[in-house]
Chains A and B, each alone.
Chain A
Amino acid sequence: MMRRSLPLLLFAALALLYPLLVAGSEVYQRLGALVVLSAIGASAWNLIGGYAGQVSVGHAVFFGAGAYAALAGYAQFGMPPVAGAPIGVAVAILIAALIGVPTLRLSGHYFSMATIAVAELVRVLVTNWEWLGGAQGISGPAVPRTVLDLSFTSAVPYYYIFLAVLAAILFGTWRIEKSRMGFYLRAIKDSERAARSLGVAAGRYKLYAYMLSAGLTAVAGALYAIMFGFIDPESGCGILISVKMLIMAALGGAGLLFGPLVGALILVPLEEISNSLLGGKGAGLTFVVYGAMIVVIARFLPSGLLALFAGRMRPAGKPSETEPSHAA
């Protein structure tokens, strides 16, 4: 027990103290907040994409639902953005339930393609929806009216809010991992057919995981909108939002509790620092570095970084049953 929990405790202490450790640099305090925010999104994605093995490339829909709810509530009714967040979560869960039923019957790449298509469809619709600011997007409160607007100059308050949310999500995920649902999800991931034949209500559990994942992704979206104070169709529902969640999780280790966090710990600083160092030159080198890094990890650590550390690398060989190309 000690051997397992000691590093964890140390890591938690480091996380709690981080803003103090970099107290001299607002940029690194903000970097901390960005890492945790990305980890929230990727951990939310991990529930369906990692544990259940249903690779969604359309989670931007749910991210957008949270982000738009937070700022539309402000723009239309003068609500503090945080008050819109629960509405965003509810909307995301509702959308997940609606599109989940037909979409989760698809498997492998077909599920991925369908989620991309739904997300692109939603993006186009939002672009033409004036109530949500259309193509111009919506701004949050530029100057905070009350502390409830959660509009801070320093990134430290954001950091701790995000950290609390991440801790809650990781704790919840850990409980699910240990529960019957976690067992079912892993069974579905390994072989949906086998899981079904053992009497697991695969469809139902996939839907639960999808809805839960959607709701938590909406939380990430709302937090993003609160921090940045602006959302438009591309930054809310664009395909890059979906892909980034997937990349973080996959890089760290999809289906592992701390995988998304590890992915975020590497990718977000890499992205920010390489943009700060190279971006001003305007030669696109930031993304050359970023792309090369992803390629190298996919090539040498296909199951993610943590898989290497945890010694849980799946035997390389035939792609598992999550791969059948057609619908079930």
Chain B
Amino acid sequence: MFWQKGALAAFGAALLALGSAHGAAAQQSVKIGAIYPLSGNAASAGGFSKAAIELAVDLINNGNADLKDVPLADGKGLPRLGGAKIEVVFADNQGTPAAGQNQALRLITEEKVVALIGAYQSGITVTTSAMAERHGIPFMAPESVAANLTERGFKWFFRATPVAGDFARAYSEFLKEQQAAGQKTASIAVVNENTEYGNSVASVIKEQFAKDGLNITQVIPYSANTTDVQPQVLQLKEKNPDVVIFISYTSDAILYAKTMKDLNWKPAIMIADDAGFNDPSFVATSGALVDGLVNRSSFAVGKPGSVSAVINDLYKKKTGNDLDDPSARAMQGMLILADAINRAGSTEPAKIQAALKATDLKANQVITGYNGVKFDDKGQNVLASSLITQMQAGKYVPVWPKDKSVGELKLPYKGW
């Protein structure tokens, strides 16, 4: 009897030993932990973000001559830390808040990372950033938009991305301009997937539009893991609104594009809130079905030779895809973090925290379309902003606001 228990214990011990075997890596580099969904339903998005963060690190460590304005992109590592290289340790949050938090602890205590970045899904950002807060490690959230994240009184939490309120204002202004230009916007439908992302963005849009006198006539929440979206499209077809705003993930975005064509219905203006409609696999497979689709993005490829164009080329060389918006924001988050660590001139968390608070990047120093980067007391980037893009011949082109546009807005929506 006893030896058997002993055997079990030995088995357990072997497993434990396996776990601690790795982790002793080169110490000359500065380690940053990145927690992303690398398995589970959001793994596609997580994989693209991972590649974008790797590209950011590559720029810092190896440089690119065409990106003079972007801080640290000259390939000299972190000059104030003696040219130390950046090393990113990736961890898989498996799409669960628990795995995200477990991995955060491992990265902080075993890998000794000096800061964390992630974690894509807002719910997982809640638990992972709480772990960083307890250990006094800076946490950078480049893409999670849930409003409550910056309302927790955290001292180590920084969010670079614009939030739902920013998008809602952008849509509202955009639509009012179109109204003034003679487009029909009398009835507006909002179609949102009903997990945390879709629900929160939809409710903020509803509030903002009510304030601005835009008339939402139809709201259709649905579950993203659905097998069929025909009923939703038929609900739209029945009421025939002038404008539809879709807030969807990739799987449902693909189904909407196909189903709207099959059932032959389109609005005068079709807007998609980023996410699924910006996923490279959506653009590649369904782009041709949604010509003229208006989208929100913080990243859009500018004229050849511009920072965004150079970066997009590099990303395309690396992955075969154009750089999508959430991944660009992840990349931006990593660049902000690296800039702060460099200015801190130290890997001490408190100094990095102070440097992050003092961040002041101008619009020409960022790779996204942000007006710059500056954090308020709650850790929110107050200069974060969104562009409006339009799908034109299989590519998203920035069309609004005017000063950042590359192409001409073409309405009404063309579709397939």
Contact = CB atoms under 8 A, between A and B. Distances in A.
Q: Decide if A and B touch, CB cutoff 8 A.
A: yes
Contact of B15 (A14, A142, A235, A269): A269
A228 interface: yes
A136 B12 CA distance: 37
A127 B194 contact: yes
Contacts of A11: 5
B20 interface: yes
B194 A228 contact: no
B16 A269 contact: yes
Interface string B82-122: 00000001111010111101110110011000000000001
Contacts of B127: 228-230
Nearest to A137: B123
Nearest to B147: A136
Q: How large is the interface on B (under 10, 10 to 19, 20 to 34, 35 or more residues)?
A: 35 or more
A139 B4 contact: no
A287 B39 contact: yes
Given A128-B194, A229-B127, A280 B96 contact: no
B94 A286 contact: yes
B12 A269 contact: yes
A325 interface: no
Contacts of A124: 223
Given A25-B110, A279-B91, A30 B50 contact: no
Interface centre among A10, A134, A228, A269 (most CB of B within 10 A): A228
Interface centre among A6, A124, A224, A276 (most CB of B within 10 A): A276
Contact of A276 (B91, B97, B195, B199): B91
B109 A27 contact: yes
B196 interface: yes
Query: Which secondary structure characterizes the binding site on chain A?
Result: helix
Contacts of A286: 39, 92, 94
Interface residues of A, number: 50
A235 B98 contact: yes
A277 interface: yes
B199 A142 contact: no
A227 to B, nearest CB: 9
Given A3-B1, A280-B38, A135 B110 contact: no
Given A265-B12, A282-B47, A276 B39 contact: no
Contacts of A284: 38-39, 43
Interface in A18-50: 22, 25-28, 30, 34
Nearest to A8: B5
A153 interface: yes
Nearest to B146: A136
A279 B97 CA distance: 15
A273 B109 CA distance: 15
Contacts of B43: 282, 284
B227 to A, nearest CB: 14
Nearest to A11: B5
A273 B15 contact: yes
Nearest to B46: A282
B109 A25 contact: yes
Contacts of A322: none
A80 to B, nearest CB: 17
A316 interface: no
A232 interface: yes
A272 B103 CA distance: 9
B22 interface: yes
B194 A135 contact: yes
Interface in A283-314: 284, 286-287, 309
Contact of A272 (B2, B9, B50, B102): B102
Interface centre among A26, A30, A128, A232 (most CB of B within 10 A): A232
A142 B152 contact: yes
A235 B1 contact: no
B130 interface: yes
Interface in B120-142: 122-123, 126-127, 130, 133-135
Given A6-B2, A137-B123, A139-B148, A280 B90 contact: yes
B122 A136 contact: yes
Interface in B175-223: 194-196, 198-200, 223
B307 to A, nearest CB: 27
Interface centre among B4, B36, B46, B196 (most CB of A within 10 A): B196
Contacts of A94: none
B197 to A, nearest CB: 8
A230 B126 contact: yes
A282 B110 contact: no
Contact of B97 (A7, A230, A272): A230
Given A135-B196, A136-B199, 19 more contacts: A6-B2, A14-B9, A25-B109, A25-B110, A27-B106, A28-B19, A30-B105, A124-B223, A127-B194, A137-B126, A228-B101, A228-B127, A229-B127, A230-B130, A232-B97, A235-B98, A269-B19, A275-B102, A282-B36
Interface of A: 3-4, 6-7, 10-11, 14, 22, 25-28, 30, 34, 124, 127-128, 134-137, 139, 142-143, 153, 224, 228-230, 232, 234-235, 262, 265-266, 269-270, 272-273, 275-277, 279-282, 284, 286-287, 309
Interface of B: 1-2, 4-5, 8-9, 11-12, 15-16, 18-20, 22, 36, 38-39, 43, 46-47, 50, 89-92, 94, 96-99, 101-103, 105-106, 109-110, 122-123, 126-127, 130, 133-135, 146, 148, 152-154, 194-196, 198-200, 223
In the A-B complex, the 10 residue pairs with the smallest Cβ-Cβ separation, listed nearest first, are: A279-B92, A282-B38, A280-B90, A136-B196, A153-B134, A273-B19, A142-B152, A135-B195, A26-B109, A230-B127
22 contacts: A3-B1, A10-B5, A26-B109, A27-B19, A27-B106, A127-B195, A134-B196, A135-B194, A135-B195, A137-B126, A142-B133, A153-B134, A230-B97, A235-B98, A235-B123, A262-B8, A270-B15, A279-B39, A280-B90, A284-B38, A286-B92, A309-B1
